[in-house]
Amino acid sequence: MTVLRPITEAEYVAWLEIVIPAYAKDKVSSGQWPKDSALDSARKDYAELLPNGKDTDKNHIFTVLSPEGFPVGTLWFVEQERANSHIAYVYDIYVKPEHRRQGHASRAFQALEVEVTRLGLSGVALHVFGHNLAAQALYTKLGYVATNINMFKPVPGAT
């Protein structure tokens, strides 16, 4: 049963319209970007990360399929070097809201491990925003452990 199938051009275009605003919102929520320029910054980041769109070298963007074979989400990873070994860095996992909590992301990550082995990579790394408790719960359940934690506390009265 296929869980990850290469994304089509039409799916890629539709996916960008979802993930770019979501990424901008996360950057604002985490205090990294000002709201007024966040969407432009997010578009710029995506253009730099994916200069050749879905066919950008070392990048793998998949449509996640349900057990019945219909599209329920997207998984994007890039091959990277980390401490002298080659790994998969997951930039995005997205499951459509109406299909969440049905195990699709978990199945996608299991299929990712098969893909990682096939490509001769040694592991999977990813980033998660501090406010994204759903994703953190997912990754913890899948066996991921935190390697870096950034923290912030606003100081009342400071400029």
Ligand X SMILES: CC(C)(COP(=O)(O)OP(=O)(O)OC[C@H]1O[C@@H](n2cnc3c(N)ncnc32)[C@H](O)[C@@H]1OP(=O)(O)O)[C@@H](O)C(=O)NCCC(=O)NCCS
Q: Which is nearer to ligand X, 39 or 126 (CB)?
A: 126
Q: Which helix (H) or strand (E) holds 117?
A: helix 104-118
- CA-to-CA distance for 157 and 159, rounded, in angstroms? 7
Spell out the residues 6+ positions from residue 79 whose beta carbon is closer than 8 angstroms to its own: 58, 59, 60, 86, 87, 88, 89, 119, 121
Q: Does 42 bind ligand X (CB under 6 A)?
A: no
Q: Does 50 bind ligand X (CB under 6 A)?
A: no
Q: Does 110 bind ligand X (CB under 6 A)?
A: no
- CA-to-CA distance for 27 and 39, rounded, in angstroms? 10
Q: Which is nearer to ligand X, 44 or 141 (CB)?
A: 141
Member of 114, 128, 151, 152 binding ligand X (CB under 6 A): 128
CB of 157 to ligand X, least distance (A): 34
Which residues make up the interface to ligand X (CB under 6 A)?
93-95, 100-106, 128, 132, 134-135, 137-138, 141
